[in-house]
């Protein structure tokens, strides 16, 4: 016992004659950003083929970066281009927001509600209104350029491709206009009605236009002149917007079937029956087709064979359309207002967020963020968490320790023999990815699971800096450090 007392006395003499730097908490955020090339989402379901697929990467957790109150229910689906997000509201306004922070850039008031979705092309933004017009505005400042009057509600999201804008109206017509001037290029059959309302967004590919109608038909029109190439007659209304992929047309119908047709001739390749039908527009990528149904399920089919690979529960009466990116599929719920993310390969749940109203809006995915509207009036932006995790070294506290046992309080930490280093790290948003422990900048332990405890048994003599670095799943970092005098 006398020997230990002598050793402690010598250590105290050494410690008190050497300056000790004060440790501090370092909450410096890791500035790592998504480095994938920006894949803009300029129109409904991403592109002129209505694929609903983006190459963007998104987080594996739910985090609301910002939300913007429009003042009306949001059934419109957002478009994102050149750092701006465009969204319509049922108060009749089209909004342009900063895509990073949600700040308002401009708004434009139309004559009625907007449940159509905007399309951005060549410095202009196009959207249909329930006042019967298609509007063309300057995408930078919202100034009016031209409008085209159909006389009936326009909720068909316009598709802009190669200098032309294509859309349907509830008068049963399909229109092709010059995107620059608004001058009519053609109307289907020079004014012949299709026979029903058109809420479907046209898909344009390889010189053809594909669109559904409430008359129960899926039409293929010549994109240049507007004449009929082929028609597939379904038993009931086609509200779903067709998606074109690998020479096939994928589209839902209210007749309880989901169809895959040959894009060249309209012949049926496969179909899938359920008991309520499909109003949702499909997303397609990597050999899989995703579509929601009124039965409250999100379906994943093999794109070639129609074999059902999995289903994912959403809730009942779903009319929204999915978006797909980097192994995830996003979908909203029409009944209680959830917005959900699932694994696109196996349908496993990833996260769920509850909005304040039903979600008919289809999500847009761009530059690491997901945008979607809700009937609560908000446009939501989900993305990367910006806050660092919390990390502290909770033990040992100031005192003198012999073989991991505190024997006396002291103004610093002194250890004779082994000592436990105890770290507390947490992140309530994205979660902790890993924690590393360093002694004098040399890594001693890398933790991926709790408890974050390391027993220091190495022989050493003198002053050491013990540091803990915590990294969350968003890539943010925080640090804490202590000074430990260790002998033996």
CA distance 67 to 371: 9
**pLDDT (tens digit, 9 = 90+) per residue, 38-90?**
899 999 999 999 999 999 989 888 999 999 999 999 999 999 999 999 999 99
- The percentage of the chain sitting over the pLDDT mark of 90, rounded to a whole number, equals 73
CA distance 485 to 468: 17
Which runs of consecutive H residues, i.e. helices, occur in 365-478? none
Please, which residues have CB within 8 angstroms of residue 371's CB and are 6 or more apart in sequence?
78, 80, 85, 87, 99, 363, 364, 365, 379, 380, 381, 382
In the chain, what are the helix, strand and coil shares in percent, each to the nearest 5?
5, 45, 50
Please tell me the predicted confidence (pLDDT) of residue 311.
94
Please tell me the predicted confidence (pLDDT) of residue 194.
56
Cβ contact 241:50 at 8 Å: yes
Residue 6: is its pLDDT beyond 80? no
Q: Which residue do the tokens 């761009």 mark?
A: 366
Identify the residue with better confidence: 385 or 364. 364
| Domains of the chain, start order | 2-32+389-487 (2.60.40.10), 53-382 (2.130.10.10)
**pLDDT (tens digit, 9 = 90+) per residue, 166-199?**
999 988 899 999 999 999 999 986 445 555 688 8
**pLDDT (tens digit, 9 = 90+) per residue, 380-396?**
999 988 889 999 999 99
CA distance 63 to 59: 9
**pLDDT (tens digit, 9 = 90+) per residue, 323-341?**
999 999 999 988 889 999 9
Kindly indicate the confidence band of residue 28, based on its pLDDT and cuts at 50, 70 and 90.
very low
98 φ, ψ (degrees, to nearest 5): -70, 125
27 φ, ψ (degrees, to nearest 5): -105, 35
As a whole number of Å, the CA-based R_g of the chain is 30
CA distance 273 to 301: 12
pTM recorded for the entire structure = 0.84
Residue 377: is its pLDDT beyond 50? yes
Q: Work out the number of other CB atoms within 10 angstroms of the CB of residue 479.
A: 20
Q: How many CA atoms lie within 13 A of 2 on its CB side?
A: 0
CA distance 216 to 229: 17
**pLDDT (tens digit, 9 = 90+) per residue, 397-452?**
999 999 999 999 999 999 999 999 999 999 988 889 999 999 999 999 999 999 99
CA distance 330 to 66: 18
Cβ contact 77:373 at 8 Å: yes
């Amino acid at each position: 016992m006398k020997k230990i007392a002598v050793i402690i006395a010598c250590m105290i003499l050494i410690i008190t004659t050497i300056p000790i730097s004060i440790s501090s908490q370092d909450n410096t955020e890791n500035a790592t950003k998504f480095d994938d090339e920006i894949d803009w989402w300029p129109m409904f379901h991403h592109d002129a083929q209505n694929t609903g697929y983006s190459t963007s990467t998104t987080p594996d957790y739910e985090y609301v970066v910002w939300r913007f109150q429009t003042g009306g229910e949001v059934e419109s689906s957002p478009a994102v281009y050149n750092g701006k997000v465009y969204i319509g509201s049922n108060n009749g306004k089209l909004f342009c927001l900063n895509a990073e922070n949600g700040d308002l850039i401009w708004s434009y008031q139309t004559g009625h509600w907007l449940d159509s979705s905007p399309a951005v092309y060549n410095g202009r933004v196009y959207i249909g209104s329930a006042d019967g017009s298609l509007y063309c505005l300057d995408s930078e400042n919202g100034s009016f350029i031209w409008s085209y009057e159909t006389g009936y509600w326009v909720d068909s999201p316009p598709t802009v491709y190669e200098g032309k804008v294509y859309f349907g109206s509830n008068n049963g017509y399909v229109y092709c206009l010059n995107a620059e001037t608004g001058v009519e290029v053609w109307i289907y059959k020079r004014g012949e009605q299709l026979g029903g309302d058109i809420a479907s967004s046209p898909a344009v590919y390889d010189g053809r236009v594909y669109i559904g109608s409430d008359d129960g038909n899926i039409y293929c029109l010549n994109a240049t002149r507007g004449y009929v190439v082929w028609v597939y007659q379904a038993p009931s209304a086609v509200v779903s917007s067709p998606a074109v992929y690998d020479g096939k047309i994928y589209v839902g119908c209210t007749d309880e079937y989901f169809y895959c047709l040959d894009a060249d001739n309209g012949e049926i390749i496969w179909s899938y029956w359920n008991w309520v039908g499909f109003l949702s527009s499909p997303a397609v990528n990597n050999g899989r087709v995703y579509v929601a149904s009124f039965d409250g399920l999100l379906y994943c089919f093999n794109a070639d064979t129609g074999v059902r690979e999995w289903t994912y529960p959403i809730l009942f009466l779903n009319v929204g359309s999915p978006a797909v990116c980097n192994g995830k599929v996003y979908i909203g719920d029409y009944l209680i207002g959830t917005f959900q993310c699932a694994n696109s390969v196996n349908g496993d749940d990833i996260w769920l967020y509850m909005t304040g109203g039903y979600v008919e809006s289809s999500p847009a995915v761009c530059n690491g963020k997901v945008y979607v509207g809700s009937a609560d009036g908000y446009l939501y932006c989900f993305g990367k968490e910006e806050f660092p995790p919390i990390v502290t070294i909770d033990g040992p506290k100031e005192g003198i320790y012999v073989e991991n046992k505190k024997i006396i309080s002291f103004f610093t930490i002194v250890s004779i023999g082994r000592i436990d280093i105890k770290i507390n790290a947490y992140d309530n948003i994205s979660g902790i990815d890993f924690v590393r422990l360093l002694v004098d900048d040399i890594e001693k332990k890398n933790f991926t699971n709790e408890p974050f405890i390391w027993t220091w048994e190495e022989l050493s003599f003198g002053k050491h800096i013990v540091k803990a670095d915590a990294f969350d799943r968003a890539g943010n970092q925080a640090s804490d450090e202590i000074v430990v005098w260790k002998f033996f």
